[in-house]
Amino acid sequence: MKINQDDIFDPDGFNAPVVGIASDMGVHDSGRHSHLRHQLLFSAAGSITIELEKTLCLLPPRRAAWLPAGTVHRAIMRGVLAYRSLYFSTILQLPVLPLQIVEVNPLFFEVIERMASWPWEMPAEQQTSLITVFSEEIQAARRENWTLRFPSDARLGSWLDRVCMGELPPRLSQVARQVGACERTISRIFIKDTGMNYQSWRQQWRLLKAMEMLSDGWMLSQVAQQLEFISDSAFIAFFRRHTGMTPRHYLYENTVENRH
């Protein structure tokens, strides 16, 4: 169902197996909340930042995020166009899926589009066939890693607060000096708490931040400078290595004119 950004909508107040919304969100902050239903978020143009407990997710355009029922999250949108959100009753016989971000192919997109547009009170028997296709598509969809776990060790608390406010994570030697612990200790903390060594974690942070900044309209050279790449070409090579596309291609995909 098409709604406006300021409309009040509570997916947990419906009886239908699946309810969906379609909207152009502009700038929007959902605040921290959760649903009794499973949720799928999708944007054809514009990225969505999803904050979870100790984890940050970036949802690029043409990707979908699956949030199991009860997941506390906050969705931050900046100029998101063709936003779609589907809510699934937990009584449905859907596959048990963890929180994940998946690629959306043309068929999957059409399924999401149809489900986001149908009437909220559509009879359950009319939803069954498309729910079956949805189940097949989300299980077959390719998973992508646009997430970043944060360390939980108290020694990194104040440093992490600054990073969460947008401060660029420095190199390992600088972190060790700021925190007052040796580099080996910092490395052990990151591997234990995030599953990544510090260098990999820092690179993932820079990548997600770059994608967010590009979606917000920053020029390529501004992003490269802000994230301390030695040159624009070094940033382009980094971005292509981690995403399989250039920043220019990513921006092209981010525009509504080039959505499915």
Mean pLDDT for back-to-back runs of 10 residues, the chain (260 residues) = 83 94 84 96 87 91 94 86 91 92 95 94 91 96 93 92 89 92 94 95 95 87 96 97 90 58
Would you state the structure tokens that stand for residue 234, as one six-digit string?
Answer: 């070094």
Residues constituting the chain = 260
Confidence at residue 166, expressed as pLDDT on a 0 to 100 scale: 83
Q: Where are the domains of the chain?
A: 11-144, 151-258
Q: Do domains 11-144 and 151-258 have the same CATH topology?
A: no
Question: Where does the chain show beta strands of DSSP type E?
Answer: 18-23, 26-29, 38-45, 48-52, 55-59, 63-67, 74-88, 100-103, 143-144, 147-149
Confidence at residue 190, expressed as pLDDT on a 0 to 100 scale: 96
Q: Is 231 exposed, middle or buried (0-12, 13-18, 19+ CB in 10 A)?
A: exposed
Residue of 221, 29, 5, 202 whose CA lies nearest to 213: 221
User: Cα torsion at 19, 24, 29, 32 (round to 10°)?
Assistant: 10
Residue of 21, 22, 40, 24 whose CA lies nearest to 81: 24
Confidence at residue 24, expressed as pLDDT on a 0 to 100 scale: 84
Residue 67: DSSP 8-state: E
Is 1.20.1250.20 the CATH classification of the domain at 151-258? no
Confidence at residue 45, expressed as pLDDT on a 0 to 100 scale: 78
Would you state the structure tokens that stand for residue 49, as one six-digit string?
Answer: 């930042």
SS3 150: coil
Would you state the structure tokens that stand for residue 260, as one six-digit string?
Answer: 């499915």
Confidence at residue 257, expressed as pLDDT on a 0 to 100 scale: 46
Q: Is 37 exposed, middle or buried (0-12, 13-18, 19+ CB in 10 A)?
A: buried
How far is the CA of 209 from the CAs of 49, 238, 239, in angstroms? 10, 13, 11
Residue of 192, 5, 149, 136 whose CA lies nearest to 83: 5
Specify the CATH superfamily of domain 11-144. Regulatory protein AraC (2.60.120.280)
Confidence at residue 255, expressed as pLDDT on a 0 to 100 scale: 60
Residue with tokens 């906050």: 74
